[in-house]
Structure 1
Amino acid sequence: MSSDRLKQLQPGDPKRVGQYRLLARLGAGGMGRVYLGRSQGGRTVAVKVIHPSFAEDPRFRRRFRQEVAAARRVGGFHTAHVVDADPEADPPWLVTEYIAGPSLQEAVDDHGALPEPSVAALGAGLAEGLTAIHAHDVIHRDLKPGNVLLATDGPRIIDFGIARALDGTSQTTRTSLVGTPGYMSPEQYRGREVGPASDVFCLAAVLAFAATGRRPFGEGPGEALGYRVVNEDPDLTGVPASLLPLVAAGLEKDPDDRPGVEEFLDRCSRLAAGRGLSLPTPVTTMIATRVAETDALTAPPEATKADFAEKAPLPQGPPHVPPQAPPWPQRPPAPPYPPPAPSGGPPAQTSFGIGAAAVVGALLIVAAIWFIADHKGRTAAAGSGIASATASPTSGAGSESPTSDPTSSADPTPTPDPSLEAFEAISAGDCLDAYMDPYEFDDWSEHLPSAVDCDRTDAYLRVTRVLDDDGGDCDAKALDGESTWSYVGGGKTIRLCLERQLRVGECFLGLKGSQKGRIAINNHGLMTSWGCDKSTVPKAFDYILQVTGLTNGDCPSDSRSWDFRGGNLCAKVT
């Protein structure tokens, strides 16, 4: 799709979840995949389908049920309300209000730090949202720039309270902390009980990021970030003087030394002088783009004949002749974009001004034309992410019948699932011509796995095990270039346990280490492939590393080394 946020549904994706028709993919995270959906009443929603690996844990289901119940009670401004959920479904799912806007992370990554008035208004909005959340004894636990959406009428906090469901589950505590490195509070890193003060720490870190364009505790591996959060002072260079004391106090190590969320609300609202969130023009254009794309994608379909029959008046014949419905009229073809508003009234006004309104109109036309053209017969293969499966249909949410004739009595011929067929064709020992998308942690460079000769230079992955419905664990190690590619659908699960095949001369991506001059690697970077002749890297990385050796001995003098699969991975910066 034309947006980084909206992506076309793949053949393995469910068409419906509960009562909600799915329209596009929004993204994925540690808990599952998120879809853009439409309710029966025409409301646009975000539908999160929980990863089956979590759903198999009864403790997760129990806590998920409790946290969803609490989150559904949360009201107030600046939160994306939870509107529906089914913790008992297989897999469980959650529906929230959909916010057509970029995340704070996307806005700052693309257009830089926000000006002082914007940061103050952002702080007031987020503090007001946290106040509503805390009023129902819900703690967010994972407030970060990616969980703050920028809408036309202010910021929205998403995913509040749900992270708590991950606590105490063997699936999670075995692999990682609940939260995002660099934004988690010291008490989260220390494994202590967290309360509202933990969210205050995260809020201060988010405001520091918005004001400077960087994390207050720097970049690097999660372990390094955790050490700095617990033991070192944040780098608040660039935070406006009016906000600096508040942000610094919010980042105190001891929860008792931090101000309350009410103080953030009072001080930020005074600095913002009661004005709403005003954003730089490039960011308002991002919001206008998302609104336009969403409007085009969710435009209601043309009325059906049944709808016309209900609304069209029947002609009145002679008394002895029963009224007869007229023959179906010939409908004019639907326009390729939403029809213009009736003339004669004043022009529509938006908070973005005339220029942004023109952008919205143009984007509506372009996005709608693209959507119609793209959906005429186009098919695409299904993708699946690392430790994140293609969501399986829930109860009442199976694949829709290929026939549209409701009077047909014959059972429709089942449509083959190309995703399932592709996964079933893979065996242990096969090699795949795919690598992890360097821009998104949960996606691969190919939509579906395809076995190739292991001697080929593009045989990036080797399948070590294939796990089926009986479960099991790939036991992927964090820094050994291992991962999982999963298919879940129609009651069937297939997991491919993968190992990155690194060859001398090939390049992958690295990042800055916790100490000056050090270079770090992580699993995402190891699973990528990047052109050695390129001069730029994705925003999540800092270096292009070229493999110079895989050895149990010393590395070449021009190379750096990392422990890797019981030996040394040698690589140099290109």
Structure 2
Amino acid sequence: MTVDTTAAVNLDSLAGISPTRVFRQVLETSTPYTFSSVVSFTGWSTLLLVERADRPGVKFVAKGLFGYHSVIAAAPPHLRAELHGYYWYRQLPERAHRQARDQFGQEADLLSRLSGSPYFPDLVEMDLGAPVPYYVMEHLPLGSVRHWLGTHGAPDAATAIAFARRLLSGMTVLHDIGYVHRDINAENVLMADGGPVIADLGCARARTATEPRSPKSALISWPPEYDVGYHEADITSDIYCFGMVMYELLTGTMPRYGAPPLPSVVTGHDPRLIELVERCVRWEPDRRPPNATAALEVLS
């Protein structure tokens, strides 16, 4: 990623080129947003909680395409070896940064298309031509499903059914416009007053797109086909991820290899939901519900 940060930060200081500091200074010098706190930062992006003077008391989340990898690319050569160890990432070629920019642009555009839907965060604005490409979305203070679960505990039967129906409804909207999410999990599903909201569309794939094969490290929340077929993941992969979110919602954990059947560890819930979750987390894609609409019909 080509970013001139020399005017804003001291590149000879590790603290000075932290992803959060770079993105914060770009926002505060070229936009009406002011920094409030750090939400998170990753290899490719940084999320900040921000405010603006003309909307007192209202917080937003700004996501910028500047993370660990960008810091390494922007740093002077004499610091890169030190940064590799500090951030635990290797330097990536410019091709990878171009792909990240393309993916970020798709993510912002997709969120723009979905704004106004109750199942996705509303996009406030975006500027993909800024020194650090960014977009700003509404802030949902209840946080992720995992955070909500840790605060409130497992939901009752009626709440669990309502949660599942709303999450499946949001997945239907996304699938109907031709995309699969590919990373639905308890951190990427947020809680609003009305129920779950699907966020973090950075891994979304247009179902008609052709992507190069790329290996993916196994994550417990991902379906087994990602080991070899992440680049061609389709709707049934999202169905598996839905099942994993529901399993965690009902039990407080995710199933490991050899985990007991859900009915033996959960009681007091609608048996239709228990059966659906069991079907969704099957390893064979053709044994899962074929789409979110079919899964919703089970709960009707």
Common fold, TM-score beyond 0.5? yes
Q: Which residue of 2 aligns with 1:210?
A: 249
Are 1:45 and 2:24 an aligned pair?
no
Q: Which residue of 2 aligns with 1:59?
A: 99
169 and 110 in structure 1: CA distance in 2 versus 1, 3 angstrom threshold: farther
Amino acid at match of 1:27: S
234 and 97 in structure 1: CA distance in 2 versus 1, 3 angstrom threshold: farther
Are 1:133 and 2:174 an aligned pair?
yes
What are the equivalent positions in structure 2 for 1:236-251 lying under 5 Å apart?
236=262, 237-239=264-266, 240=269, 241-251=271-281
2:122–2:137 contact (8 Å) kept in structure 1: yes
CA distance in 2, matches of 1:112, 1:66: 35
Amino acid at match of 2:197: R
> Secondary structure of the residue that 1:34 maps to in structure 2?
strand
82 and 139 in structure 1: CA distance in 2 versus 1, 3 angstrom threshold: farther
Deviation at 1:266, TM superposition (A): 3.7
Deviation at 1:106, TM superposition (A): 1.4
Amino acid at match of 1:21: T
2:111–2:121 contact (8 Å) kept in structure 1: no
What are the equivalent positions in structure 2 for 1:425-444 lying under 5 Å apart?
none
Deviation at 1:18, TM superposition (A): 3.7
Aligned equivalent of 1:257, options 287, 290, 297? 287
> Secondary structure of the residue that 1:134 maps to in structure 2?
helix
Q: Which residue of 2 aligns with 1:367?
A: none
1:123–1:264 contact (8 Å) kept in structure 2: no
181 and 215 in structure 1: CA distance in 2 versus 1, 3 angstrom threshold: same
199 and 168 in structure 1: CA distance in 2 versus 1, 3 angstrom threshold: same
Q: Residue by residue, what CA displacement relative to the aligned partner does 1:473-514 show, whole Å, maximum 9, x if unpaired?
A: xxxxxxxxxxxxxxxxxxxxxxxxxxxxxxxxxxxxxxxxxx
What are the equivalent positions in structure 2 for 1:515-534 lying under 5 Å apart?
none
Aligned equivalent of 2:47, options 34, 37, 44? 34
11 and 196 in structure 1: CA distance in 2 versus 1, 3 angstrom threshold: closer
Deviation at 1:204, TM superposition (A): 0.8
Instruction: Kindly tell me the number of residue pairs found equivalent between the two proteins.
Output: 240
Bigger CA radius of gyration: 1
1:116–1:211 contact (8 Å) kept in structure 2: no
Q: Residue by residue, what CA displacement relative to the aligned partner does 1:423-447 show, whole Å, maximum 9, x if unpaired?
A: xxxxxxxxxxxxxxxxxxxxxxxxx
CA distance in 1, matches of 2:178, 2:124: 18
What are the equivalent positions in structure 2 for 1:78-97 lying under 5 Å apart?
78-97=119-138
Aligned equivalent of 1:198, options 237, 240, 243? 237
Q: Which residue of 2 aligns with 1:186?
A: 224
Question: Could you list the runs of 4 or more consecutive aligned residues of structure 1 that deviate by over 4 angstroms after TM superposition?
Answer: 167-170, 232-235
> Secondary structure of the residue that 1:146 maps to in structure 2?
coil
What are the equivalent positions in structure 2 for 1:278-289 lying under 5 Å apart?
none
CA distance in 2, matches of 1:49, 1:145: 22
- Segments of structure 2 that go 5 or more residues without pairing to the other structure are 1-19, 74-93
Deviation at 1:209, TM superposition (A): 0.6
TM-score by length of 1: 0.38
1:249–1:258 contact (8 Å) kept in structure 2: yes
250 and 11 in structure 1: CA distance in 2 versus 1, 3 angstrom threshold: closer
CA distance in 2, matches of 1:30, 1:267: 39
Deviation at 1:261, TM superposition (A): 0.5
Deviation at 1:118, TM superposition (A): 1.6
Amino acid at match of 1:238: V
CA distance in 2, matches of 1:266, 1:40: 47
> Secondary structure of the residue that 1:36 maps to in structure 2?
strand
70 and 11 in structure 1: CA distance in 2 versus 1, 3 angstrom threshold: closer
2:61–2:138 contact (8 Å) kept in structure 1: yes
169 and 18 in structure 1: CA distance in 2 versus 1, 3 angstrom threshold: farther
> Secondary structure of the residue that 2:254 maps to in structure 1?
coil
CA distance in 2, matches of 1:154, 1:128: 11
Are 1:158 and 2:199 an aligned pair?
yes
> Secondary structure of the residue that 1:186 maps to in structure 2?
coil
Deviation at 1:233, TM superposition (A): 7.0
Amino acid at match of 1:191: G
Q: Which residue of 1 aligns with 2:153?
A: 112
Are 1:22 and 2:21 an aligned pair?
no
Deviation at 1:85, TM superposition (A): 2.5
CA distance in 2, matches of 1:67, 1:150: 20
CA distance in 1, matches of 2:141, 2:212: 33
CA distance in 2, matches of 1:59, 1:38: 30
Amino acid at match of 1:203: F
Amino acid at match of 1:214: T
Q: Which residue of 2 aligns with 1:74?
A: 114
Amino acid at match of 1:28: F
139 and 30 in structure 1: CA distance in 2 versus 1, 3 angstrom threshold: farther
What are the equivalent positions in structure 2 for 1:136-151 lying under 5 Å apart?
136-151=177-192
CA distance in 1, matches of 2:124, 2:296: 26
Deviation at 1:168, TM superposition (A): 6.5
2:142–2:190 contact (8 Å) kept in structure 1: yes
